[in-house]
């Protein structure tokens, strides 16, 4: 059941931008898109210029040269592969709750997938599959609090979660306080909705609470368990059979 929910959530994250989120600007065609500042990063100026050419004329997108202090921003990082330095930079960036990180990568080993998700990366794109439409969708999704992965990476993530659940022994994580690891009913319910692809506004509508309440619950959960973001929280809960 959880796998089915995650698959539905992945399809929703890759679907067209919805119309019910606040803080969006209507384009001339009447299609709502989020207002988003984007900072591009790449190892060489030519690759960075290519990213910027995709984004420069996009509706609702403003390119910036530096991280805007105190404002929400999506960082698009282009890399050939995942390195320790890249993961450290990702953790440093996403320590700021106002930043979202989209990673475009040429190569990603299966063993690195959990590390990437745990570092705070919101969305991943294969470099050879990047088009303007796919990049914009990833940026808009990230700004709206949605995570997205290529279908093959999503399947690999589920496989890793399944193997982890099957191989974990009774002594796994025995040095961690079990009470601290447990989730409350409200945390479990919210994480299930996150896994189902809902964003903050939709979760609030579903549960009948305010968006601020939902954000506070998620912030308390991720802070208590030292998790990077919602995707990391869902992966954590799945690995331990909590949702």
Contact at 8 Å (CB) between 118 and 86?
no
Coil, strand or helix at 147: coil
φ, ψ of residue 207 to 5 degrees: the values are -90, -10
Predicted local distance difference test score (pLDDT) of residue 22: 38
Beta carbons within 8 Å of 74's beta carbon, 6+ residues apart: 36, 37, 38, 39, 99, 100, 101, 102, 122, 139, 142, 143
Beta carbons within 8 Å of 26's beta carbon, 6+ residues apart: 32
Predicted local distance difference test score (pLDDT) of residue 114: 78
Run of H or E residues at 74: strand 73-79
Distance separating alpha carbons of residues 209 and 223, to the nearest angstrom: 21
Q: Within its chain, how far is the Cα of 35 from the centroid?
A: 18
**Parallel, antiparallel, or unpaired: how do β-strands 36-41 and 32-34 relate?**
unpaired
- For each of the chain's 243 residues, which pLDDT tens digit applies? 333 334 444 445 444 433 333 344 444 345 455 689 999 999 999 999 999 999 998 888 999 999 888 888 999 999 999 988 998 899 888 888 888 999 999 998 877 887 888 788 888 999 999 999 999 989 988 887 777 778 777 767 766 665 655 554 544 445 444 545 678 888 888 998 888 888 888 888 888 888 888 888 898 888 888 888 888 888 888 878 787
Q: Give the pTM.
A: 0.59
Predicted local distance difference test score (pLDDT) of residue 93: 87
φ, ψ of residue 84 to 5 degrees: the values are -60, -40
- From the CB of residue 193, how many other CB atoms can be counted at a distance below 10 Å? 21
CA angle (170, 174, 178) in 5-degree steps: 100
Predicted local distance difference test score (pLDDT) of residue 109: 83
* Nearest residue to 198 via CA among 10, 32, 4: 10
Predicted local distance difference test score (pLDDT) of residue 180: 54
Q: Could you tell me the domains of the chain?
A: 12-153 (3.40.50.2300), 177-239 (1.10.10.10)
């Amino acid at each position: 059941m959880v796998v089915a929910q995650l698959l539905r959530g992945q399809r929703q994250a890759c679907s067209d931008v919805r119309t019910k989120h606040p803080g969006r600007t209507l384009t001339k065609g009447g299609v709502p898109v989020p207002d988003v500042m984007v900072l591009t990063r790449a190892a060489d100026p030519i690759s960075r210029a290519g990213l910027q050419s995709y984004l420069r004329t996009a509706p609702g997108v403003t390119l910036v040269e530096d991280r805007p202090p105190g404002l929400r921003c999506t960082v698009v990082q282009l890399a050939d592969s995942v390195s320790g330095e890249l993961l450290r930079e990702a953790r440093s960036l996403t320590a700021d709750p106002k930043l979202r990180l989209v990673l475009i990568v040429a190569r990603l080993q299966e063993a690195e997938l959990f590390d990437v998700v745990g570092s705070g990366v919101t969305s991943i794109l294969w470099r050879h599959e990047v088009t303007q439409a796919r990049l914009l969708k990833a940026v808009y999704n990230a700004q709206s609090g949605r995570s997205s992965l290529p279908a093959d990476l999503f399947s690999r993530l589920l496989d890793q979660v399944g193997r982890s659940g099957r191989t974990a022994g009774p002594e796994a994580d025995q040095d961690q306080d079990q009470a601290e690891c447990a989730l409350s009913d409200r945390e479990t319910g919210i994480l299930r909705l996150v896994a189902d692809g809902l964003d903050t506004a939709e979760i609030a509508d579903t549960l009948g609470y305010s968006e601020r309440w939902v954000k506070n619950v998620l912030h308390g959960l991720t802070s208590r368990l030292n998790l990077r973001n919602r995707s990391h929280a869902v992966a954590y809960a799945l690995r331990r059979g909590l949702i």
